[in-house]
């Protein structure tokens, strides 16, 4: 007899799941039986992601909206009839050359906006829109993808660190409010991943930044989108009903917990 994570009968919205980490999570949730809602800014990416999951036998629909706009988020979640599982994954990790990646003392307030809008307000918008449906149902699972940059700190990414730390704080506050409704709220804090966003760095064998980064990881490879996917599926399942308000590092041993 095997142990399986069962998400049959649950609808799971994964934001920013047209590629990268979100797509890895969406594939795994679908494989566990959830009906997955692929969200992205890009229709093309969302459609391709949904086609791939359908080809693997998963149940999937698309819902393309911008998580930074509360009005459209609320409308989309209402049109879906609510979701049982919300994975807040949409983010801009600040790839190499991203404007605003510089010492904080050299930034302007306008540089902070793109990071705060997606990584903090985007999460707040989705959580706010999803909660009334979850409360009415008496079941909900929220998993927010945050970053070791916000948990531990990373130079030249001050606004991104602030946004991710803010999103992690939202999790803890909301978890306290909604546990009595059967809703859990947790964070997964990622180390450096290999996704389309960072592909340029990893595909260049001479990239010194990539080499220096890997020396800090006990498991000497960047994270793959499949790495946080199994934990997300578990946290999304009824099995994880007594785990809430927590932050779980998935980071190849970049940091050591106590």
Ligand X SMILES: NC(=O)c1ccc[n+]([C@@H]2O[C@H](COP(=O)([O-])OP(=O)(O)OC[C@H]3O[C@@H](n4cnc5c(N)ncnc54)[C@H](O)[C@@H]3O)[C@@H](O)[C@H]2O)c1
Residues taking part in catalysis: 160
Which of 7, 15, 27, 114 binds ligand X (CB under 6 A)? It is 15
Find residue 248's DSSP bridge partners: 188
* Of residues 201 and 243, the one with the C-beta less far from ligand X: 201
Residue pair 240/184 in contact (Cβ under 8 Å)? The answer is: yes
Applying CB under 6 A, the site for ligand X has a residue count of 31
**Could you say whether residue 197 binds ligand X (CB under 6 A)?**
yes
Q: CB 107 → ligand X: shortest distance, Å?
A: 18
Binding mask 143-162 for ligand X (x = CB under 6 A): --x-x---------------
**Could you say whether residue 21 binds ligand X (CB under 6 A)?**
yes
* Of residues 26 and 33, the one with the C-beta less far from ligand X: 26
Q: In sequence order, what are the residues at sequence separation of 6 or more whose Cβ sits closer than 8 angstroms to the Cβ of residue 97?
A: none
**Could you say whether residue 124 binds ligand X (CB under 6 A)?**
no
* Of residues 138 and 200, the one with the C-beta less far from ligand X: 200
Q: CB 191 → ligand X: shortest distance, Å?
A: 7
| Run of H or E residues at 254 | none
Using CA of residue 84, residue 26, residue 69, residue 172, what is the dihedral sign? positive
For residue 49, give the 3-state DSSP assignment.
helix
For residue 155, give the 3-state DSSP assignment.
coil
Residue pair 210/194 in contact (Cβ under 8 Å)? The answer is: no
CB-based burial, 59-96: b 16+ in 10 Å, e otherwise: ebebbbbbbbeeeebbebbeebebbbbbbbbbbbbbee
Q: CB 232 → ligand X: shortest distance, Å?
A: 11
Which of 29, 38, 87, 193 binds ligand X (CB under 6 A)? It is 193
Judged by the rule CB under 6 A, the positions of this chain that interact with ligand X are 15-16, 18-22, 39-42, 45, 66-68, 89-93, 118, 122, 145, 147, 190, 192-193, 195-198
């Amino acid at each position: 007899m095997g142990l399986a994570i069962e998400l049959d009968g649950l609808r799971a919205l994964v934001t920013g799941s047209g590629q990268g980490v979100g797509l890895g999570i969406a594939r795994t949730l679908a494989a566990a039986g959830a009906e997955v809602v692929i969200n992205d800014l890009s229709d093309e990416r969302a459609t391709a992601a949904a086609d791939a999951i359908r080809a693997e036998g998963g149940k999937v629909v698309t819902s393309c909206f911008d998580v930074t706009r509360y009005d459209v988020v609320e409308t989309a979640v209402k049109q879906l009839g609510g979701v049982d599982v919300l994975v807040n994954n949409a983010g801009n990790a600040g790839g190499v050359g991203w404007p605003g990646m510089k010492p904080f003392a050299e930034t302007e307030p306008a540089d902070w906006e793109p990071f705060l809008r997606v990584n903090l307000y985007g999460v707040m918008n989705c959580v706010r829109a999803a909660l009334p449906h979850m409360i009415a149902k008496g079941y909900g699972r929220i998993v927010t993808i945050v970053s070791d940059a916000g948990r531990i700190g990373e130079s030249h990414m001050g606004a991104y660190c602030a946004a991710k730390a803010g999103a992690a704080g939202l999790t803890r506050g909301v978890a306290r409010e909604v546990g009595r409704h059967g809703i859990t709220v947790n964070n997964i804090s990622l180390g450096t991943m290999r996704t389309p966003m960072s592909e340029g760095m990893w595909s260049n064998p001479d990239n010194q930044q990539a080499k220096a980064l890997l020396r800090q990881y006990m498991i000497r490879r960047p994270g793959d989108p499949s790495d946080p996917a199994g934990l997300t599926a578990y946290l999304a399942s009824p099995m994880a009903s007594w785990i809430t308000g927590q932050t779980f590092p998935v980071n190849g041993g970049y940091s050591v917990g106590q």
